[in-house]
Structure formats: structure tokens, C-alpha cells
């Protein structure tokens, strides 16, 4: 029979003040009998023996437990009741567990749903987690396993209640203003921001991808500060910036004498983030042994410091991972554990690069101009303004460093500009390249039916090519290799286009470039 293993069905297998008798699990002293009595649990399973066995263990622990054996009845209960934890059998005879899960989360999104499954495959487990389940419990499971999982869930509820109370106190004291400002009107960025706003209200793990400087850290901050954990710490760690031994000590802490220089016990960042959020930046660069140790914390909430022979803490942490690499490629190459990736990738968010959201450049440029002008010059000094030509240059740049590069460029300008000045193209730093010159806007000529189709098409294409090549070579400063890379073509094709339009490497007419041996080698 799938369910509690017979040897551990007795509710007296564990002391009532401890989440487990296993020496690896310490008692959660904060979970007093009074707190447990306020936690309402609904157990839904069509196996009578299993649900009654679960009830006897949980009631002995001090929780308030309701049992249900039919899916239809359970759906009515979750819609009418206010349960903190709901245990759902994935395979019910009349209503599927996934359907009950959706009904449960629609009625009360902050309910912790735990799926009970007799077929604990990766596919079904991921499906449950992606649909909003807090965790899953494979059959058969022991009383100890149930107690440990419920202890974690109850601890999460306790932390959430405290966070809500602290957040309400913070709002009363400071007002309900946004602590993180995120700008962007481009559709791709608005989709990412909307997803971040929706997931912020939950405790689901988030996996953010995007190029360096695109705003992954800002999205992580946005999620934390709009969550119920906002009054608790947001702790960030760059997994690529530290060597393996130092990274392990920083994350998990260490005990006195664990290594040379460990003169005292030290708590790690996981303990510092307890009740809050831990952002794991550049997760794909984390060493594999630390990934395995982190996976256990994610699964059990148990932290063992470096050099310790016992559990040092039980933590409740929300994880936000980020990387500038393709995580699936990292998994395929063996750099990232597949089980860790799927644990953290409950809600994936991709932040688009700045070049894919050019409509956001003026908005961001204005924001950074005001921020850095106020910081470096003061609010009383007249703010400079962008000329139309400078705006075209900003919108036309590739911005390989994304928002971070734009931010640095604007701050550089602010330091050198005069109060009230008009910002011209030559005021924009070129980051080591030839100073950017004004780019002439190109408006497609009027199309009429006075000439044949093919002739009109060839004329329009020729005018577009001439304008594109002139702009390309101006911004590349005459460097043909750079121009070819920006255009996405090889240099031979670029030289043919220049010859066709009679352009030299500076974009000027009147000097044709040969495609022979005298071609410049850049």
C-alpha cells in the first residue's frame, strides 16, 4: 500500500517539539504549540488509511487537520475555507490533483500546496511546481518525512506572517512608495516586468536570464521589494567572483577551526537571508560541489556550516537565480546540475538586451541624466537637454554593455557638461572609438506607380544601402572589420557594397575601393 511506511506510522515516533528525531534535523524552537494550533491543514486523498495516518501524525504535532476523500468535496472546501497548507493527491478518481491545485491557489494564492504522488517522476514533479505547488511528497513516505516537510511548511507560514506584519508596520511609518524604480515601455521588457510583478506575490523560485548589464539585478530587487518578504533582507552573491573555498564559507558559514584563519564561528549568507531572499548571480559559474550542497538547502532548508558535524540552522529563504549564459547549454555542458536548475527555474524571466528595446533608450537616458545631475551638480543647477541629433546617436548605438553602458555614458557626460547646455553628438563619449558624428535620418522616398515595379524597388534598395553604409562607416570610424561585424556580413560583401555605391572607408563618395590586392587589411 502506498502511504506511510508501517514502521513509522506511530505518531509518537518524534517528540512533539521537534520536526524530526533524525540527528541531522534540529528542533525548530520557534514553532511553539500555540503557533502550530493556528495552522490549518487540509489532507485530500482517496485512500482512507493514508489520510487518517497523516492526520494522526499531524494532530499529534499540534496542527489543526481536516480530511477529505473526494475531489468534488475538496474543491468546495478550498473555495469556502482558509487553509494554510493543503496536501493533494495528484491522482484522484473524480477530480485531478492539478485541477484541485488550481482551484486552491485561485481561492487563496498564499496557500502552501503539497502534491502527493505515487509516480514521482521528474516530469510530474516539475508540472506540479510550475503550476504553483510549494513542494511534492512521493509515496510511500514515512512519518519522519511528513514531519520534516510539515515543519518546513509551518516555518514558512510563520515567517510569512511575521513579514506581513513588519511590512504593514513599514508602510505605516514610511508610506507605500516604490523602493525600486524600473523603467521600460518596450513590449518585450514590459512582458518581463509584468511576469516579475505577478511572481513577486508568491514564494516561487525565479530564474532570470539576460546579457550582462541588461538589468537582471534590478528585476531581482523589484521582485523582492514587491513581495511579502520585503521587510526582510535581500542578500546577493556573485557565484563567479569568489574561489570555491571562499564561496562555500560565504554561503554556508563556518565553525571555529574549520580552516586556517577561522578563529570564530561565522554565519553564512543563507542564514543572513533567513525569512528574506537570496539572489544567486551567475549561478552557472558556481562550482559543482557547492551546487550539490545548495540543492540540499533548497530541498530541506537545512544549513550545515563548513567544518560542522551537525546541522547549524533551519532557514526559510526565497531563491532568485540569474545568469548571462544560456542555462540549458550550461546543463548540457555539465557546468550546471540539472536537478538544481529545475528546482530554481520554477518561473523563468528573460530580460531583453537594450538593443532590442530602442524605444526605452530616451526614457532611460532622461532618468540617468536627472539622477546624476542631481548627484554631482545639485538640484539648483540648470539641467542640460538632449538635442535631436544626440537623441538619434543614442538610439542608433549598439549598446553592447546594455543599460549599464548607457548609465556610465550619461554619468560621464554629466561630469563634463555645463549647466543648461544642449547635449550634442560630440558630447557623447565614444568608449575608445572615434567620436560619434551626427547620423542623418533617412526617410524613404515617396513611391508612385509612374515607374515599373522592379525599377522602383531597385531605386529604393539602392537609396537605403547608401544611407545604411554611410551611417555604418561613420559609427565604425572607418574600421572595416568592426563595420562588417556590426552589419553581420563578411568583409568581402561589405567591400562589394562600397564599390557599388562609390564609397570609401570613411563613407565619403568619389574614391572607389578595389577588391584586389590593395584592399586595406584591418
pLDDT in tens, 299-309: 888 899 999 88
Q: Are strands 64-68 and 85-89 parallel, antiparallel or unpaired?
A: unpaired
Taking residues 329-348, what's their average pLDDT?
93
How much is the pLDDT for 14?
33
Query: Reduced to 3 states, what is the DSSP secondary structure of residue 237?
Result: strand
Query: How far is residue 32's CA from residue 62's CA, in Å, rounded to a whole number?
Result: 9
Across the chain, mean pLDDT equals 79
What domains sit in the chain, N to C, each tagged with a CATH number? 6-167 (3.40.50.2300), 187-351 (3.40.50.300), 355-427 (1.10.8.60), 442-522 (no CATH)
- Which of 92-96, 380-384, 439-443 is the least confident region? 439-443
**Euclidean distance between CA atoms 445 and 451, whole angstroms:** 14
Comparing 69 with 28, the larger pLDDT belongs to: 69
If you average pLDDT over residues 306-333, what whole number do you get? Answer: 90
Q: What is the pLDDT of residues 195-230, one digit of tens each?
A: 999 999 899 999 999 999 999 999 999 999 889 898
Digit-coded pLDDT (tens) for 243-280: 888 899 999 999 988 888 888 888 899 999 999 999 99
What was the pLDDT predicted at 28? 41
**pLDDT reported for residue 133:** 83
Q: Decide: 312 and 299 in contact? Cβ < 8 Å.
A: no
Q: 3-class secondary structure for 159-190?
A: HHHHHHHHHHHHHHHHCCCCCCCCCCCCHHHH
Residue pLDDT, tens place only, 46-74: 888 888 999 999 998 899 999 988 888 88
Q: What is the pLDDT of residue 181?
A: 65
Closest Cα to residue 40, out of 97, 90, 80? 80
- pLDDT confidence tier of residue 21, bands split at 50, 70 and 90: very low
Q: Which helix (H) or strand (E) holds 350?
A: strand 347-350
Question: What's residue 27's pLDDT?
Answer: 37
Q: How far is it, in rounded angstroms, from Cα 202 to Cα 226?
A: 10
Say yes or no to pLDDT of 160 above 90.
no
- From the CB of residue 502, how many other CB atoms can be counted at a distance below 10 Å? 13
Query: What pLDDT shows up at residue 444?
Result: 63
From 354, 328, 330, 310, select the one nearest 239 (Cα to Cα).
330
3-state secondary structure of 449: coil
Pairing of strands 253-254, 266-267: antiparallel
Amino acid at each position: 500500500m502506498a502511504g506511510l511506511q508501517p514502521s513509522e506510522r506511530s505518531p509518537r515516533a518524534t517528540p512533539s517539539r521537534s520536526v524530526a528525531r533524525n540527528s541531522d534535523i534540529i528542533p525548530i524552537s520557534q514553532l511553539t504549540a500555540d503557533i502550530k494550533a493556528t495552522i490549518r491543514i487540509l489532507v485530500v486523498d482517496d485512500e482512507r488509511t493514508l489520510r487518517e495516518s497523516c492526520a494522526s501524525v499531524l494532530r499529534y504535532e499540534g496542527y489543526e487537520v481536516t480530511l477529505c476523500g473526494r475531489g468534488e468535496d475538496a474543491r468546495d472546501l478550498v473555495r469556502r475555507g482558509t487553509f494554510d497548507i493543503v496536501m493533494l493527491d495528484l491522482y484522484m478518481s473524480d477530480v485531478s490533483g492539478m485541477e484541485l491545485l488550481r482551484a486552491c491557489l485561485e481561492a487563496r494564492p498564499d496557500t502552501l500546496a503539497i502534491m502527493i504522488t505515487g509516480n514521482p517522476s521528474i516530469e510530474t514533479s516539475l508540472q506540479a511546481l510550475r503550476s504553483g505547488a510549494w513542494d511534492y511528497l512521493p509515496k510511500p513516505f514515512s512519518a519522519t518525512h511528513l514531519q520534516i516537510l510539515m515543519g518546513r511548511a509551518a516555518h514558512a507560514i510563520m515567517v510569512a506572517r511575521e513579514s506581513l506584519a513588519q511590512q504593514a508596520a513599514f508602510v505605516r511609518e514610511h508610506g507605500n512608495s516604490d523602493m525600486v524604480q524600473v523603467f521600460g515601455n518596450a513590449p518585450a521588457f514590459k512582458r518581463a516586468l509584468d511576469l516579475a510583478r505577478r511572481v513577486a506575490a508568491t514564494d516561487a523560485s525565479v530564474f532570470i536570464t539576460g546579457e550582462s548589464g541588461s538589468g537582471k539585478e534590478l528585476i531581482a530587487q523589484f521582485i523582492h521589494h514587491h513581495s511579502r518578504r520585503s521587510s526582510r533582507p535581500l542578500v546577493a552573491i556573485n557565484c563567479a567572483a569568489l574561489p570555491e573555498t571562499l564561496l562555500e564559507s560565504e554561503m554556508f558559514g563556518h565553525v571555529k577551526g574549520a580552516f586556517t584563519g577561522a578563529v570564530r564561528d561565522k554565519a553564512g549568507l543563507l542564514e543572513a537571508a533567513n525569512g528574506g531572499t537570496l539572489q544567486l548571480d551567475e549561478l552557472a559559474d558556481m562550482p559543482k560541489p557547492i551546487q550539490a550542497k545548495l540543492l540540499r538547502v533548497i530541498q530541506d532548508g537545512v544549513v550545515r556550516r563548513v567544518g560542522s558535524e551537525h546541522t547549524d540552522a533551519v532557514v526559510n529563504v526565497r531563491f532568485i537565480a540569474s545568469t548571462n549564459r544560456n542555462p540549458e547549454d550550461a546543463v548540457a555542458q555539465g557546468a550546471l546540475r540539472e536537478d538544481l536548475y529545475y528546482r530554481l527555474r520554477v518561473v523563468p524571466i528573460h530580460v531583453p538586451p537594450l538593443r532590442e528595446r530602442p524605444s526605452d533608450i530616451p526614457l532611460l537616458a532622461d532618468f540617468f541624466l536627472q539622477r546624476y545631475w542631481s548627484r554631482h551638480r545639485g538640484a539648483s543647477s540648470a539641467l542640460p537637454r538632449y538635442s535631436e541629433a544626440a537623441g538619434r546617436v543614442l538610439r542608433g548605438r549598439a549598446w553592447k554593455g546594455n543599460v549599464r553602458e548607457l548609465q556610465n555614458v550619461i554619468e560621464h557626460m554629466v561630469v563634463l557638461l555645463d549647466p543648461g547646455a544642449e547635449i550634442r553628438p560630440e558630447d557623447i563619449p565614444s568608449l575608445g572609438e572615434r567620436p560619434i558624428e551626427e547620423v542623418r535620418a533617412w526617410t524613404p522616398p515617396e513611391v508612385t506607380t509612374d515607374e515599373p515595379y522592379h525599377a522602383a524597388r531597385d531605386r529604393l534598395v539602392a537609396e537605403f544601402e547608401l544611407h545604411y553604409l554611410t551611417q555604418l562607416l561613420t559609427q565604425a570610424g572607418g574600421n572595416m572589420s568592426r563595420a562588417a561585424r556590426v552589419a553581420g556580413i563578411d568583409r568581402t560583401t561589405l567591400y562589394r557594397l562600397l564599390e557599388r555605391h562609390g564609397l570609401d572607408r570613411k563613407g565619403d563618395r568619389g574614391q572607389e575601393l578595389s577588391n584586389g590586392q590593395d584592399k586595406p587589411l584591418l
